[in-house]
Structure 1
Amino acid sequence: MKRLPIPEDVTGEEIDKDVRQELQSLPKTLADDVAKNLVMVARLIDEEPESAYGYSKVALRLASRVAAVREAAGFAAYATQKYAEALAEFRAARRMTGNVDLWPVMADCERGLGRPEKALDMAGAPEVQKLDKAGQVEMRLVAAGARRDMGQLDAAIVTLQSPELASSSIQPWTARLRYAYADALLAAGRESEAREWFAKAVESDKDGSTDASDRLAELDGVEFVDALDENTGDQDGPEGGPEDEED
């Protein structure tokens, strides 16, 4: 596999210090090369996942025995919906470190592979008790998604009902948890409750990680028009905004 271009502003020093420490087992030139490719994975994974995947494959070819590289490769494969490949990389990383942090995303890979029952089995496994609060919330989201995959809407709603959902404290996971709950309520035909929870999701979504504001506007019958279209006159323009996204 050929090397991919690395922008001049990427030095490799941008990566997390723990990852940098892992790479110290490699010769310095090789470590720097791997680090730069990992920086590119992190930089591109949200907006250009296929490109991130390409850089992850380069890093993997250079340093497949480094857990952080296997983990990055897993997330890049996951972002491009290559769930079997992602699961294999996550399992490899977990074998190397013994860490349970990847358990929820591994379970979500099982969902992606059409095995929601396996994801639910993982949600009930002892490993979940070893997760931190964020990991446990993530596992709850995956379990609820698996219930929905199986057509068990009421069970999905119950799965999401938790102290974290009821809490007024805003945490990094709050918006996504409230959004998933609202979406499940709406799927179950409980529109007024869904509206309430989409509104709560909007309140807690400070960085725009969900499209809760669009979903709320849709429920309220708001149509977006192009304010810059001078030919619109008094007539409504076409409805806009992103399409609905399920959590």
Structure 2
Amino acid sequence: MRQELMSLPKTLAEDVARNLVMVAQLIDEDPEQAYAYSRIALRLASRVAAVREAAGFAAYATQKYSEALAEFRAARRMTGSVELWPVMADCERGMGRPERALAMAGEPEVQKLDKAGQVEMRLVAAGARRDMGQLDAAIVTLQSPELASHAVHPWTARLRYAYADALLAAERTEEAREWFAKALEADKSGTTDASDRLAELDGIEFVEVEEIDDEPAAQDEATAPAAESEPAAEVEAVDESDEAVVDTAAADDAEVADEVTPAPAADDKS
């Protein structure tokens, strides 16, 4: 890629390179954002094969299969390489044309692929068979020396997983469980969900444990003053009652005093 970018002016090459780096960094976590960066790179340098290839993978990741296929074809015309042949066939599947993907699996280009590319082409062909409802043929397509090998390669886990999934679809459950276990054994980087599929077959359910909230203690503290305020209200009520009793007693004493005190004697005019 660096050599391809060297054909561009320095500033332009740097801008294109920055966008391609962002595509590579985001394509798994945020494919839509990666696609946006790929379009920028494509506007800047559409005649660079690496840019067309990156744009193709970004479109592929966002399921824009027609657009991806066009970019892959452009990159292949520029380089003459057959490396993109399997993903081009998978784009045909994505566009609802599995028969074209199968036709590509039988083309001479497949023989020019390296081992990883040939395994990828086998996976695409098996997927196309399943798309067409040919489940048994899909299982046979995946049966190969690479599947039977005990050696572990970057593509081993995916090949075993695809075989297990096809067996399960054919209701060959015990065999499927065996191959999911083999896929998990080879899947050191966690590229498949073989562990989840095994757990499902074994009837194991994962229950999410809710975290204990420490807020009740704070709530208790918040409500404590309210609880203490109630007796205070009672005290005030009692105090007011006592004052009422005192006032009533004073009034009664005054009435009694009025009754007991004799009236003043009249002046003697004689």
Q: Give the deviation of 1:193 after TM superposition.
A: 0.3
Which one of 155, 159, 163 corresponds to residue 141 of structure 2? 159
1:45 matched to 2:27? The reply is yes
TM-score w.r.t. length of structure 1: 0.85
Separation (CA, whole Å) in 2 of partners of 1:125 and 1:162: 19
Aligned counterpart, 1:14: none
1:50-69 maps to which residues of 2 (within 5 A)?
Answer: 50-69=32-51
The gaps in structure 1 that reach 5 residues or longer are: 1-18, 232-247
1:33-112 maps to which residues of 2 (within 5 A)?
Answer: 33-112=15-94
Q: Give the deviation of 1:110 after TM superposition.
A: 0.1
1:180 matched to 2:162? The reply is yes
Separation (CA, whole Å) in 2 of partners of 1:229 and 1:159: 48
Q: Give the deviation of 1:226 after TM superposition.
A: 2.0
Give the residue type in structure 2 aligned to 1:33.
D
Find the residue that maps to 2:13 and give its secondary structure.
helix
Give the residue type in structure 1 aligned to 2:202.
D
Separation (CA, whole Å) in 1 of partners of 2:122 and 2:49: 26
Computing the radius of gyration from Cα coordinates, the structure with the larger value is: 2
Q: CA-to-partner distance for each residue in 1:159-198, whole Å, 9 max, x for gaps?
A: 0000000000000000000000000000010000000000
Equivalent pairs counted in the alignment come to 213
Give the residue type in structure 2 aligned to 1:169.
A
Separation (CA, whole Å) in 2 of partners of 1:121 and 1:226: 47
Q: Give the deviation of 1:228 after TM superposition.
A: 4.7
The gaps in structure 2 that reach 5 residues or longer are: 214-270
Find the residue that maps to 1:25 and give its secondary structure.
coil
1:126 matched to 2:108? The reply is yes
Separation (CA, whole Å) in 2 of partners of 1:36 and 1:229: 42
Which one of 202, 215, 229 corresponds to residue 184 of structure 2? 202
Compare the two structures and name the one with the higher helix fraction: 2
TM-score w.r.t. length of structure 2: 0.78
Give the residue type in structure 2 aligned to 1:95.
R
Give the residue type in structure 1 aligned to 2:45.
A
Aligned counterpart, 1:16: none
1:169 matched to 2:169? The reply is no
1:219 matched to 2:194? The reply is no
Q: CA-to-partner distance for each residue in 1:28-55, whole Å, 9 max, x for gaps?
A: 0000000000000000000100000000
Q: CA-to-partner distance for each residue in 1:107-130, whole Å, 9 max, x for gaps?
A: 000000000000000000000000
Question: Could you say which structure has the greater relative contact order, defined with CA pairs below 8 angstroms and 6 or more residues apart?
Answer: 1
Separation (CA, whole Å) in 1 of partners of 2:208 and 2:91: 39
Q: Give the deviation of 1:227 after TM superposition.
A: 3.7
Q: Give the deviation of 1:137 after TM superposition.
A: 0.2
- Give aligned-pair identity as a percent: 84
Separation (CA, whole Å) in 1 of partners of 2:196 and 2:4: 42
Separation (CA, whole Å) in 2 of partners of 1:97 and 1:160: 30
Q: CA-to-partner distance for each residue in 1:88-125, whole Å, 9 max, x for gaps?
A: 00000000000000000000000000000000000000
Off by >3 Å, runs of 4+ in structure 1: 227-231
Q: What RMSD in Å do the two structures reach over aligned CA positions? A: 1.0
